[in-house]
């Protein structure tokens, strides 16, 4: 804004004591009016504020929470009810905002840069995109005082999944509050098996025989369909860079082949020739299904929901998935939910041992810069009461699974007449399980975010490079990420 200098003001003053022609005096009078308006305008602009002081002070007492938008209305309404009950009990107010999973992490990062972050965030992608990095850089509040009183109610895997290293304090601690957990399940169509004279009891438990089973089912179904289009495929495995399901599932395959990327201290083991050889074998095994046409051709371009859509549209016979969102999508149709759609566990590992499942824990975080630390922790203490968190997760329709062992006692999770939830519950109750490598070393969260394994798979099936070359590229990228981590 431009301010008038003293010289014009002196000139205007001199006009008052000298006699000038009327035209000149009018011109200077007009100039004086314009200048006075400019001064007033500049003064008013400087004093104005987009946030009146009294409004800002009121809003700062509200607890600001950003939360993943649920996949169904019931999930969102359950959280709203939970928060409403806490507001009545505590006398505090909450400003709740839902964002889709794709946008929540990005919005959170932008808000942090602007120092305008909410108090609490719960994102299902936070485990790989937010928590490890923020904990490392000291951006998260320590919530040990919230978890310690209820620590015995969680499994070791769940507690390990929220126990991160803070590079500022040089200590590990709890920097997130577990909300729910998920692992990988296999969903399939019972009616398609029946169509070719098979049932669930015919599905092998042996590793190689298990995967050959689905290939044979595809052959039999396509023989019945003959020239019918579109073709139905035996396997709904993702090979895309854009889908998180790709690396989730491939990480499970690496576990099946006992590939240990990090040691107990969180250091890379990629220079071990045995580790490299096992990665090559895993990539080769996984990509052959696509190369041999047992997977839809567009699987190289799938987004996160596309394996769900392919199964629900009967384009594939089976697909692994990281949540129970597929059964949840057909829950309102009892015939499909209980009789036509099936959920099973993974087969035994190639060495014959039971599968150890990778578990991801969705957790809520509190920012270190939050001015509402006390109120936020009061809310967390209410949230982690077994009945509170248990009812919330159950209201979401079983899409995610409980993190507190006491909640497993609810018949909702173990009812054998529910073929999906009871199978998923058995997987986590009986174990064995482990968290992803991001807990051992937060740099691995970038490996997942960059979808290094999705890129390796894509390079093999699209660019036609060898599994050996794809392995070396993946190893080089992982080493680069670890070298650059800060």
Percentages of the chain per state (helix, strand, coil), in multiples of 5: 55, 15, 35
Residue bearing the bigger pLDDT, 29 or 151: 151
Question: Edge-to-edge strands of the sheet including 233-235?
Answer: 233-235, 316-321, 185-189, 341-344
Q: Which is more confident, 415 or 53?
A: 415
Q: Is the pLDDT of residue 60 over 80?
A: no
User: Stretch 361-371: mean pLDDT, rounded?
Assistant: 95
Confidence of residue 128 (pLDDT cuts 50, 70, 90): confident
pLDDT of 3 > 60? The answer is no
Whether the domain at 60-180+361-422 and the domain at 185-358+436-484 fall into the same CATH topology: yes
SS3 readout for 112-125: HHCCCCCCEEECCC
> What residue spans define the domains of the chain?
60-180+361-422, 185-358+436-484
Q: How far apart are CA 97 and CA 121, in angstroms?
A: 10
In angstroms, the Cα distances linking 309 to 177, 236, 242, 319, 330 are 32, 10, 16, 10, 12
Which CATH code is given to the segment(s) 185-358+436-484?
A: 3.40.190.10
Least confident of 36-50, 135-149, 220-234, 272-286: 36-50
Name the pairing type of β-strands 94-99 and 120-122: unpaired
Structural domain 60-180+361-422, CATH architecture: 3-Layer(aba) Sandwich (3.40)
Most confident of 98-107, 209-218, 438-447: 209-218
Choose between 485 and 266: higher pLDDT.
Answer: 266
DSSP line for 181-225: EE--EEEEEHHHHHHTT--GGGS-SSHHHHHHHHHHHHHHHHHHH
pLDDT reported for residue 226: 80
Per-residue model confidence (pLDDT) at position 72: 77
Average pLDDT over residues 69-77: 85
Region 272-292: what's the mean pLDDT?
Answer: 98
Confidence at residue 372, expressed as pLDDT on a 0 to 100 scale = 96
pLDDT score, position 129: 76
The CA-atom distances, in angstroms, between 28 and each of 9, 12, 36, 37, 262 are 11, 7, 12, 14, 81
- Cα 100 to Cα 48: distance, rounded to the nearest angstrom: 35
pTM of this prediction? Answer: 0.84
Check residue 212 and give left, alpha or beta (phi > 0: left; psi -120 to 50: alpha): alpha
CA angle 322, 327, 329 (to 5 degrees): 105
Q: Are 158 and 403 in contact (CB under 8 A)?
A: yes
- pLDDT at res. 55: 35
CA distance 406 to 410: 8
Specify the range with the lowest mean pLDDT, choosing from 57-71, 142-156, 354-368.
57-71
* Residue range 116-133: mean pLDDT, rounded: 89
Q: How far apart are CA 483 and CA 137, in angstroms?
A: 16
**Bridge partners for 171 per DSSP:** 166
Greater confidence (458 vs 226) lies with 458
Query: Is the pLDDT assigned to residue 51 strictly greater than 70?
Result: no
Which residue is associated with the tokens 């190639």?
350
**Average pLDDT of the chain to the nearest whole number:** 87
pLDDT single digits (tens) 452-481: 999 999 999 999 999 999 999 999 999 999
CB 398 within 8 A of CB 324: yes
Tell me: pLDDT of 369 over 70: yes
pLDDT at 7 over 60: no
Helix 244-256 / helix 273-291 crossing angle, nearest 10 deg: 120
> Within 13 Å and on the Cβ side, how many CA atoms surround 317?
29
């Amino acid at each position: 804004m431009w301010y008038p200098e003293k010289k014009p003001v002196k000139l205007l003053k001199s006009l008052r004591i000298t006699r000038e022609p009327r035209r000149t005096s009018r011109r200077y009078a007009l100039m004086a009016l314009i200048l006075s308006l400019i001064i007033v305008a500049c003064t008013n602009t400087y004093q104005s504020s987009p946030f009146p002081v009294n409004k800002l002070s009121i809003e700062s007492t509200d607890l600001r929470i950003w939360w993943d938008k649920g996949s169904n209305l019931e999930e969102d309404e359950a959280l709203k009810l939970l928060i409403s009950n806490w507001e009545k009990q505590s006398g505090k107010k909450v400003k709740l905002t839902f964002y889709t999973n794709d946008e929540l992490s990005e919005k959170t990062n932008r808000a942090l840069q602007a120092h305008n972050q909410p108090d609490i965030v719960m994102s299902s992608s936070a485990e790989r995109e937010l928590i490890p990095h923020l904990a490392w850089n000291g951006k998260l509040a320590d919530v040990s005082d919230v978890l310690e009183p209820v620590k015995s109610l969680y499994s070791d895997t769940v507690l390990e999944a929220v126990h991160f290293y803070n590079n500022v304090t040089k200590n590990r601690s709890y920097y997130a509050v577990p909300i729910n957990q998920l692992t990988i399940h296999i969903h399939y169509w019972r009616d398609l098996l029946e169509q070719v004279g098979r049932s669930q009891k015919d599905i092998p438990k042996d590793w190689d025989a298990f995967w050959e089973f689905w290939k044979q089912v595809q052959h039999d179904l396509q023989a019945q369909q003959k020239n019918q289009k579109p073709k139905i495929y035996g396997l709904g495995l993702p090979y895309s860079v854009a889908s998180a399901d790709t690396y989730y599932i491939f990480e499970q395959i690496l576990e099946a082949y006992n590939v240990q990327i990090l040691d107990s201290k969180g250091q890379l083991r990629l220079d071990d020739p045995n580790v490299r050889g096992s990665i090559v074998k895993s990539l080769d095994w996984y990509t052959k299904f696509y190369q041999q046409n047992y997977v839809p051709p567009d699987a190289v371009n799938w987004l996160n929901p596309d394996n769900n859509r392919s199964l629900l549209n009967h384009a594939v016979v089976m697909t692994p998935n990281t949540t129970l969102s597929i059964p949840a999508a057909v829950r309102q149709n009892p015939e499909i939910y209980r009789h036509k759609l099936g959920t099973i566990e993974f087969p035994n590992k190639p060495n014959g041992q039971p599968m150890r499942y990778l578990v991801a824990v969705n957790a809520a975080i509190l920012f270190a810069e939050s001015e509402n630390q006390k109120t936020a922790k009061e809310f967390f203490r209410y949230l982690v009461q077994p009945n509170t968190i248990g009812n919330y997760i159950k209201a979401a329709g079983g899409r995610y699974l409980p993190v507190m062992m006491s909640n497993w006692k609810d018949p909702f999770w173990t009812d054998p007449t529910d073929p999906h939830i009871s199978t998923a519950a058995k997987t986590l109750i009986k174990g064995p399980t482990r968290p992803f490598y991001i807990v051992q070393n937060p740099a691995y969260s970038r490996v997942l975010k960059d979808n290094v394994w999705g890129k390796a798979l894509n390079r093999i099936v699209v660019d036609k490079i060898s599994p050996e070359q794809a392995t070396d590229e993946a190893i080089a990228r992982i080493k680069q990420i670890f070298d650059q981590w800060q």
